[in-house]
Amino acid sequence: MSDPMARAVELASRGPEHGPNPRVGCVLIGANGHVAGEGFHLGAGTPHAEVAAIEDARARGMELAGATAYVTLEPCTHTGRTGPCVDALSAAGVAAVRYAVDDPNPDAAGGGEVLRSRGVDAQYAPSVAAHELNRRWLLAVARRRPYVIAKWAATLDGRTAASDGSSFWITGEAAREHAHAVRAGVDAIVVGTGTVAMDDPWLSARPGGREDGHQPLRVVVGNRSTPGARVWRDDNAIELRTHDVGVVLAALHERECRVVLIEGGSVVTTAFLHADVVDEIHAYVAPMVLGAGTSAVGDLGIRTMADALRGQNLATTSLGEDVLIVARLEKGL
C-alpha cells in the first residue's frame, strides 16, 4: 500500500461528524507488508479504530505479530466506554505504531509513551489531513469548550428579519437544504428566547426533507420561559436561563458537545461574537433588500475599520439564487 496513513484518514472520514469522540481510522500492515486489517470509529460506545482494525484482521485470518499500525490519532490509554487501545495493540502483537495527531485529551493522552515503554516502536507521524479532519474536535477538547459556528440567513443589506419580525423566507430551498445538512453534523443548536417566541422553530435536522437519525440538542438561551413551543416537543432540548455566554459554553461542554451552531437571533449572535468565541461564520446571503429590520449582528463596540473582526474566507458556494460564505475567525491550532 502506497500511503497507509492517507488510507487511515480516508477511513476516519467515514465516521460521524457529530458526537463527543473524534473521527479516527486505522490501517494494520502485516510483517509481510500487506494490509492485514482496517477499521474506523463509528462514535461513542462503539469500538475504537484500532480495535475495529484488529477485529477486521482476525476476521480475515491475518497474522498481527510484527505488524505496523497507522492510526490517525494517538492510541488512547484510558478506559472510557471501551478499553484502552494501547492494550489492544500490544496484546495483538503489533510491533510498530505511527500516529498522526497527539491526543489533546489529558485523560486519554500519552499512548505513544506507554507503547514505547512496552517496547513498541511508536512514533508521531504528523499528517495535515488527519489534523484537518478533526480540527473542530481538537480545538473543542484542548480549549474545554465547544467549537462555535454562527449561522444566519440575511438579505444583501444584512437584515435577518423585517421590522415586523417576519423572516420566512429570506433564502431559497437550496440554501435551507444546505443548512439542514450542516445541522445534521453538529451536536447542538443554540437560539435565544426571542427567536423561539417569534418563529416557533422546530430546530430539527432534515437533510433531504427527512429527519436525520442524529438530532442535535436544542438549546434555548434567555430568562423568559417559552412553554408549548415546538422546541419542547421531546426531551432533546434544554433551556439555559442566563445571558452569560461562558455559562452556555460550559454547560454544553459538560454535555460533551464539541460543535455548536448558533442560529440567532441577532441578540444571541451578537453576544457570542462580543465574547470572542465564534470560530466560524456561515452567512447565507439572498439577493433581496429590506432597508429596515433586524441586523444579522448588532453593535460589537467596533468603531474603526482597523478593529473589524476579519475572518479567513474558507468557501463561497452558490445555492440557487443565494450564496453561502463560510469565514473562519478561529486562530488556534
Ligand X SMILES: NC(=O)c1ccc[n+]([C@@H]2O[C@H](COP(=O)([O-])OP(=O)(O)OC[C@H]3O[C@@H](n4cnc5c(N)ncnc54)[C@H](OP(=O)(O)O)[C@@H]3O)[C@@H](O)[C@H]2O)c1
Catalytic residue numbers read 50
For position 175 contacting ligand X by CB under 6 A, the verdict is no
3 state SS of 114: helix
For position 170 contacting ligand X by CB under 6 A, the verdict is yes
Which amino acid does the sequence have at 139? L
Which residue in the set 140, 294, 297, 327 belongs to the binding site for ligand X (CB under 6 A)?
294
Which residue in the set 199, 279, 280, 322 belongs to the binding site for ligand X (CB under 6 A)?
199
Which residue in the set 72, 90, 204, 266 belongs to the binding site for ligand X (CB under 6 A)?
266
DSSP secondary structure letter of residue 121: E
255-265 b/e (C-beta count within 10 Å ≥ 16 → b): eebbbbbbbbb
Stretch that binds ligand X, among 9-17, 58-66, 119-127, 153-161 (CB under 6 A): 153-161
Stretch that binds ligand X, among 99-107, 161-169, 210-218, 310-318 (CB under 6 A): 161-169
213-235 b/e (C-beta count within 10 Å ≥ 16 → b): ebbbbbbbbbeeebeebebbeee
Phi-psi region of 131 (alpha: psi -120 to 50; beta: other; left: phi over 0): alpha
Which residue in the set 8, 92, 94, 191 belongs to the binding site for ligand X (CB under 6 A)?
191
Stretch that binds ligand X, among 49-57, 91-99, 101-109, 258-266 (CB under 6 A): 258-266
Which residue in the set 161, 175, 188, 237 belongs to the binding site for ligand X (CB under 6 A)?
161
CB of 21 to ligand X, least distance (A): 29
Stretch that binds ligand X, among 2-10, 65-73, 157-165, 321-329 (CB under 6 A): 157-165
Location of C-alpha cell 458537545: 257
The pairing of beta strand 259-262 with beta strand 188-192: parallel
Site string for ligand X, 52-71 (x = CB under 6 A): --------------------
Which residue in the set 249, 264, 273, 327 belongs to the binding site for ligand X (CB under 6 A)?
264
For position 38 contacting ligand X by CB under 6 A, the verdict is no
Nearer to ligand X, 57 or 248 (CB): 248
Stretch that binds ligand X, among 61-69, 141-149, 164-172, 208-216 (CB under 6 A): 164-172
| CA 66/CA 63 separation, integer angstroms | 8
For position 89 contacting ligand X by CB under 6 A, the verdict is no
Q: Would the CA dihedral through 54, 111, 22, 71 be positive or negative?
A: negative
Q: Tell which residue, 149, 101, 139, 184, has the closest CA to residue 314.
A: 149
Location of C-alpha cell 484510558: 78
CB of 120 to ligand X, least distance (A): 50
**239: β partners:** 220
Which residue in the set 263, 279, 280, 322 belongs to the binding site for ligand X (CB under 6 A)?
263
CB of 163 to ligand X, least distance (A): 9
Q: Tell which residue, 310, 219, 213, has the closest CA to residue 263.
A: 219
Q: Which three cell numbers stand for residue 23?
A: 473521527
CA distances from 57 to 9, 62, 77 (A): 18, 5, 22
Q: How far apart are the first and last CA of the chain?
A: 30
CB of 60 to ligand X, least distance (A): 50
CB of 256 to ligand X, least distance (A): 22
Neighbouring CB atoms inside 10 A of 205's CB total: 23
CB of 263 to ligand X, least distance (A): 6
Which residue in the set 184, 192, 203, 273 belongs to the binding site for ligand X (CB under 6 A)?
192
Residues in contact with ligand X by CB under 6 A are: 152-153, 160-161, 165, 167, 170, 191-195, 198-199, 221-224, 243, 263-268, 271, 294
